[in-house]
């Protein structure tokens, strides 16, 4: 596995791969890797001849009071894991390398970036879209792999790729969970043992909504109430949002018959966690 920090070198190596006729898969991450990330790498390895992974804790997507400084970093362990997974290229640039001093260009996917997580994290999706657009330009992958875990991010990036006619296919992979149902996340390391148990309430709320929908409940307001009431039963959790939306536009739906995204965000202690499920058309 090549370990590259320079943008120019990364471009050269990726061009070499594509010029040799190999399909290139790309998995962007912020590191502190877990099985969720590994599942994206495995999907890329299965679908593409070569796989590049980036590890970059992107300051642009963190708000001024968020966890940029304490975000977990584990480069040596990550690098070993990626090597074992058969990754061809690891791109881990510094902030100065990614953002040339004086850089003033941003990618703004308007409207949709102000929904779900965009409400309590203003500017977050501008940071995500800007870094992913730049990474796509550096790597120029045939396919890029993202997790359904970050459902709003997927919607924003799909829109960006469509609106800017980017030549990349997005592949969305299912949410990997711990045995007890907690969605895997690099941020789970922040949770104390008590909080770790309290955090299960997110998945529990989603499952309750799934069961209600399976049992024939069609009223979206009542489904949302069901989810919110489960969160309210856990004093250790503070709800940010519980929403049922169109998975592409992230706008509230009044009817789940054509399928819908059920998404939740809540603070457990000071850790903000997200989870979601897709209701299928019925």
Active site residues: 37
Size of the site for ligand AMP (CB under 6 A): 17
CB closer to ligand AMP, 204 vs 228: 204
Q: Applying CB under 6 A, which of residues 4, 173, 262, 277 lies at the interface with ligand AMP?
A: 173
Separation of alpha carbons 91 and 93, rounded Å: 6
Using CB under 6 A as the binding rule, whether residue 243 contacts ligand AMP is answered as no
CB of 184 to ligand AMP, least distance (A): 4
* Single residue of 43, 184, 201, 244 touching ligand AMP by CB under 6 A: 184
261 contact partners, CB below 8 Å, separation of at least 6: 151, 244, 245, 246, 247, 250, 276, 277, 278, 279
**Contact positions with ligand AMP (CB under 6 A) in 36-95:** 36-37, 39-40
- How far separated are the first and last CA of the chain, in Å rounded? 45
Asked if 30 interacts with ligand AMP (CB under 6 A), we say: yes
Q: Is 226 in the site for ligand AMP (CB under 6 A)?
A: no
Quick one: which segment of 33-41, 81-89, 97-105, 233-241 binds ligand AMP (CB under 6 A)? 33-41
In the bound complex, which residue of the shown chain has the CB atom lying closest to ligand AMP? Answer: 147
Do 235 and 197 contact (CB within 8 A), yes or no?
Answer: no
Residue 74 beta carbon to ligand AMP: minimum distance, rounded to whole angstroms: 11
Interface mask toward ligand AMP for 123-152; x: CB under 6 A: -----------------------xx-xx--
CA distance 261 to 254: 12
CA dihedral 248, 251, 257, 258 (to 10 degrees): -20
Least separation in angstroms between residue 178's CB and ligand AMP is 9
Residues 185-214 that bind ligand AMP (CB under 6 A): 185-186
For residue 20, the tally of other CB atoms under 10 A from its CB is 9
Handedness of CA 21, 44, 136, 100 (dihedral sign): negative
- Nearest approach in angstroms of CB 130 to ligand AMP is 14
Q: Does 183 bind ligand AMP (CB under 6 A)?
A: yes
- From 111, 106, 105, select the one nearest 156 (Cα to Cα): 111
Tokens of 33: 């890797």
Nearest to 28 by CA among 153, 114, 180: 153
DSSP state letter for 139? H
Contact residues toward ligand AMP (CB under 6 A) are: 29-30, 36-37, 39-40, 146-147, 149-150, 173, 175-176, 183-186
């Amino acid at each position: 596995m090549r370990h590259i920090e320079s943008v120019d070198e990364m471009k050269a190596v990726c061009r070499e791969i594509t010029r040799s006729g190999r399909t290139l898969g790309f998995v962007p991450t912020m590191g502190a890797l877990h099985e969720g990330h590994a599942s994206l790498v495995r999907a890329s390895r299965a679908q593409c001849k070569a796989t590049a992974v980036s590890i970059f804790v992107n300051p642009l997507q963190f708000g001024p009071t968020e966890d940029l400084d304490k975000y977990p970093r584990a480069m040596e362990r990550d690098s070993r894991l990626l090597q074992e997974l058969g990754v061809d290229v690891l791109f881990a640039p510094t902030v100065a390398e990614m953002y040339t001093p004086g850089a003033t260009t941003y990618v703004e996917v308007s409207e949709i970036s102000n929904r779900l997580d965009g409400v309590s994290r203003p500017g977050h999706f501008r940071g995500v879209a800007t870094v992913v657009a730049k990474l796509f330009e550096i790597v120029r992958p045939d396919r890029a792999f993202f997790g359904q875990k970050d459902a709003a991010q997927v919607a924003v990036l799909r829109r960006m790729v469509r609106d800017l006619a980017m030549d990349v296919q997005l592949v969305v992979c299912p949410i990997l969970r711990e045995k007890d149902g907690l969605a895997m996340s690099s941020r789970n390391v922040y949770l104390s043992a008590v909080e770790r148990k309290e955090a299960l309430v997110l998945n529990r709320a989603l499952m309750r909504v799934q069961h209600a929908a399976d049992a024939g409940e069609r009223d979206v307001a009542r489904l949302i109430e069901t989810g919110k009431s489960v969160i309210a039963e856990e004093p250790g959790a503070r709800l940010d949002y519980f929403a049922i939306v169109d998975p592409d536009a992230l706008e509230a739906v009044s009817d789940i018959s054509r399928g819908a995204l059920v998404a939740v965000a809540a603070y457990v202690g000071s850790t903000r966690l997200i989870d979601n499920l897709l209701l299928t058309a019925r």
